[in-house]
Chain A
Amino acid sequence: SQQGEEDPQALSIQEGENATMNCSYKTSINNLQWYRQNSGRGLVHLILIRSNEREKHSGRLRVTLDTSKKSSSLLITASRAADTASYFCATDLPLGRYKLIFGTGTRLQVFP
């Protein structure tokens, strides 16, 4: 079974709109991370939220974490065409120093 699943699988919006992506996971975690992947490129870390945190901000990014529902959301405000990419959530596991498990990803397309 998959640890992380993003919803929606694909999202298309206009520049200036907000984009919200959701991630659900199955087991308890120490932290949850969000990564971005431009087409054909490596993954770039965006933000890390720990299990005892509920919300975190970084620039135009806002991440929430609800451990009771085992879910997280990534909000990108005032989106730009350059935000077009795939976004993945990733979770460690209890005692998960050695492994980060990625979700299925959301493909975001931002039209100018």
Chain B
Amino acid sequence: EPEVTQTPSHQVTQMGQEVILRCVPISNHLYFYWYRQILGQKVEFLVSFYNNEISEKSEIFDDQFSVERPDGSNFTLKIRSTKLEDSAMYFCASSDTGAGNEKLFFGSGTQLSVL
């Protein structure tokens, strides 16, 4: 089965630093998502992306966050100035026709630790 690939699997950074989390969605998918999960807690929606623009974003996704699809294959999440509370597992997901119609395919996640 096709997979969503995320890199790196672990990222350690100092508070205030910028980080970029990378994802390669499934090649023919059109909808892209970022979620995060603080240890042991619920999976929280951050942002969805379709047709080269943000479709929806949550209140978590403030001005410190941005997403980009720089080429035909990568989908990135940038955190400009990391905070301690940004420490979490970040999941990328993609789908063909959108969450309202079908399942999401998730990557294995990037564990972000902000020190």
Q: Is B103 an interface residue (CB 8 A)?
A: yes
Q: Chain A contacts of B45 at CB under 8 A? A: 99-102
Q: Which residues of B contact A57 (CB under 8 A)?
A: none
A31, A33, A97, A105: residue with the most chain B Cβ atoms closer than 10 Å: A97
CB distance from A106 to the nearest CB of B (A): 12
Chain B residues within an 8 Å CB radius of A33: 103
Q: Does A43 contact B (CB under 8 A)?
A: yes
Residues of B within 8 A of A (CB): 4, 31, 33, 35, 42-45, 48, 50, 55-56, 89, 91, 93, 97-109, 111
Which residues of A pack against B, CB within 8 Å? 2, 30-31, 33, 35, 37, 40-45, 48, 88, 92, 95-105
Q: List 16 A-B contacts (CB under 8 A).
A: A33-B103, A40-B111, A41-B109, A42-B106, A42-B108, A42-B109, A43-B93, A43-B106, A44-B106, A45-B104, A45-B105, A92-B100, A96-B99, A99-B99, A102-B42, A105-B42
